[in-house]
Amino acid sequence: MAPDTAISLAAVALEAAVLFSLVRHRVFRTFPVFSIYVAWTLVSDITSLLIFTFHPTAYFRYYLVEMIIDSALQFTVLVELTWSVLRPVRSSLPRATIYVLALLIAVAGLVIWPLAAQTVPPRLNAQGVLLFHLQETFAILRIVCFLVMASFSQVLSIGWRDRELQIATGFGVYSIVYLLVMLQHSHQLTTDPGYHKLDFVVTISYLGTLSYWVISFAAKEQERKEFSPQMQQLLLLMSGGARAGRVALSDLPSDRLRKKD
């Protein structure tokens, strides 16, 4: 068996183990979108392996479609993660908060998009540039999400035994390794010695992330703590201001009533 095939099979086996762990320990109830993403990754990797083996000429077209769907799912996972972080006070927040979070993540992606273009390797065709650009953008976005959650973990009252930080850590560590390797690739040719060895490092980090998730989800999650008083006050003030604004608008007479007056 070729080494690449063995690694692909190992990744599929670990993805199946992560999915099983999500179902077995009922993590999917709190993170349904992340669970769907893992299931999608498992199915798409199996399909990729079959297409690459039996129809290699069609592989790149499939990979392009796969990456677009994968990126859309990653976006929804990031929204789900940030929304889950606010779990202790979600009932006090406006209903539109989740859409505001999605908008903020989308804006962050738009800011990152031109920055990611600076690391695109030379001599790629148009489709290759799009794929690389998309992967770089979401890698940086995952890193930002992880760093924000880890840096403000005390304020957000989350620790390493909380699912939110476990998922973000897996994404973040893998994305940091991936980004460092891609930055190095941007100054290399595919014929350079050590080029494909760096790709192997990325693969190992991905397998490590999957293994970390399997172990983390098997452990019992600690009970979610309440936010710090400062954070609660800030969020309640924000939600109170938004509600007050809606109430004030609802109290205004309509244009039709004004005309009658």
pLDDT tens track for 88-125: 888 777 888 899 999 999 999 999 999 887 777 667 77
d(Cα 102, Cα 107) in Å, to the nearest integer? 9
What residues contact 251, with CB distance under 8 A and at least 6 apart? none
Predicted local distance difference test score (pLDDT) of residue 183: 83
What mean pLDDT, rounded, does the chain reach? Answer: 83
d(Cα 22, Cα 30) in Å, to the nearest integer? 10
38 exposure class (CB count in 10 Å sphere: 0-12, 13-18, 19+): buried
Q: How confident is the model at residue 177 (pLDDT cuts 50, 70, 90)?
A: very high
Sign (positive or negative) of CA dihedral 169, 175, 179, 181: positive
Rg (CA), the chain: 22
Predicted local distance difference test score (pLDDT) of residue 210: 97
Q: Regarding the domain delimited by 3-224, which CATH topology (the fold level of the hierarchy) does it fall under?
A: Rhopdopsin 7-helix transmembrane proteins (1.20.1070)
| Contact assessment for residue 171 and residue 135, using Cβ atoms and an 8 Å cutoff | no
Give the range among 25-34, 35-44, 164-173, 227-236 with minimum mean pLDDT. 227-236
Average pLDDT over residues 123-150: 88
d(Cα 146, Cα 144) in Å, to the nearest integer? 5
| Contact assessment for residue 24 and residue 157, using Cβ atoms and an 8 Å cutoff | no
Write down the domain spans for the chain. Answer: 3-224, 228-261
Predicted local distance difference test score (pLDDT) of residue 191: 60
Q: Tokens 């920055």 belong to which residue?
A: 115
Predicted local distance difference test score (pLDDT) of residue 229: 67
Which is more confident, 214 or 225? 214
pLDDT of 259 over the 50 cut: no
pLDDT of 197 over the 90 cut: no
Token digits of residue 88: 């202790």
d(Cα 90, Cα 159) in Å, to the nearest integer? 19
